[in-house]
Amino acid sequence: MINLATEYLGLKLKGPLVVSSTPLTEPLANCKRLEESGASAIVLTSLFEEQLALEARALDSDLERGTESHAESTSYLPDYSDDYRTTQDVYLNHLRSVKETVGIPVIGSINGATPGGWVRFAQDVEQAGADALELNTYSLAIDANVPGEKVEQQLLDLVAQVRGSVKIPVAVKLSPQYTSIPNLARKLDATGVNALVLFNRFYQPDFDLEEMGVKPRLKFSTPDELLLRLHWTAILYGHLKADLAITGGVHSGLDVIKSVMAGASVAMTASALHLYGVEHIATVLTEVREWMEKNEYASLRQMRGALSRQAVPDSSPFERGNYIKTLSSYTMRMPQ
């Protein structure tokens, strides 16, 4: 009997496949379909720091508008308790609705890089019933006057503040663009964070030469993107108290198996569901079971970390030696 059960963020999950943050979780009917297809947990679409900041500024503006001219001017304010629903309220209400709709863990998500209103909102997410919270720390260091250690310290301070403000488990979704990922991971681990998610994707804008402007460009992930995640998960495995999760490039059952063997507790997917449909989850899990049965694995526990850096006899593929081997193994073929 194949056992796909795993633990992530202290949560007991029925399987290793988690739905990463995606608009697919916005319709309640989709959330139920995701569960029925075999998803073991759902990460809701991220609420962006900029949305929280914009909302706060709008509220401040409403509160200040006209108050100097007449004491009764506060009657001009929208009725926040009735008709006026803020972005944050919409998010929290959706979270509550998803919790009522599905029986699997629901993970809230915030995307940002500065403390701002994160602590307060994290507490609101907890009170709304989220089983855990994922902090998507997507940020680019573009200011030449800000040293790398300050960028990392800002992240550490933010995570520590959030971790100390809520009781639910907290995961940190990291970028691969740090000088020393193992060092940063160890410092994050010391904050008491419950999991690290490797990695968020770097969405790069394109140049529109006709309009002479810069435009956003969104592409779904490909299985090739999994390699970076496998590399760092395999290096970090066994050196942290926090769980590890892989997201980005998980499209098939073999991708899930590789993730677990690198040391991940779960593999997260989103792009594959946009490409192949929500029911693709069932296909992926069937592939996992078939591979495990064929290779005589009874549980994920047996597999986890089997191909991590600390488990393989030759760890050079994770180091510079792999660079030399890879290049020297290529035979130059001249065009005919």
For 134-159, write each residue's pLDDT tens digit: 998 866 777 788 888 888 998 999 99
pLDDT value at 257 more than 90: yes
pLDDT value at 80 more than 70: no
| Average pLDDT score over residue span 197-212 | 85
* pLDDT at residue 111 in the model: 81
Q: Minimal CA–CA distance to 197: which of 162, 167, 169?
A: 169
* pLDDT at residue 216 in the model: 79
Q: What percentage of the chain reaches a pLDDT higher than 70?
A: 81
pLDDT value at 254 more than 50: yes
Write b or e for each residue in 277-293: b if 16 or more Cβ atoms lie within 10 A of its Cβ, otherwise e: ebebbebbbebbeebbe
* pLDDT at residue 201 in the model: 80
Residues 303/260, Cβ–Cβ less than 8 Å: yes
pTM given for the model? 0.85
pLDDT tens per residue, range 295-306: 999 999 999 999
pLDDT value at 224 more than 90: yes
* pLDDT at residue 169 in the model: 98
> At 83, is the pLDDT very low, low, confident or very high (cuts 50, 70, 90)?
very low
* pLDDT at residue 35 in the model: 98
| Best CATH choice for the domain 6-328 from the list 3.30.460.10, 3.40.50.10540, 3.40.50.2300, 3.20.20.70 | 3.20.20.70
Q: What percentage of the chain reaches a pLDDT higher than 90?
A: 63
Angle at the Cα of 39 from the Cα atoms of 175 and 234, rounded to 5 degrees: 40
Comparing 69-83, 207-221, 225-239, 298-312, the range with the smallest average pLDDT is: 69-83
> At 332, is the pLDDT very low, low, confident or very high (cuts 50, 70, 90)?
low
Pinpoint the alpha helices (H) of the chain. Answer: 28-37, 49-64, 87-101, 118-127, 148-165, 181-190, 226-236, 253-262, 271-276, 280-294, 300-303, 320-328
* pLDDT at residue 322 in the model: 61
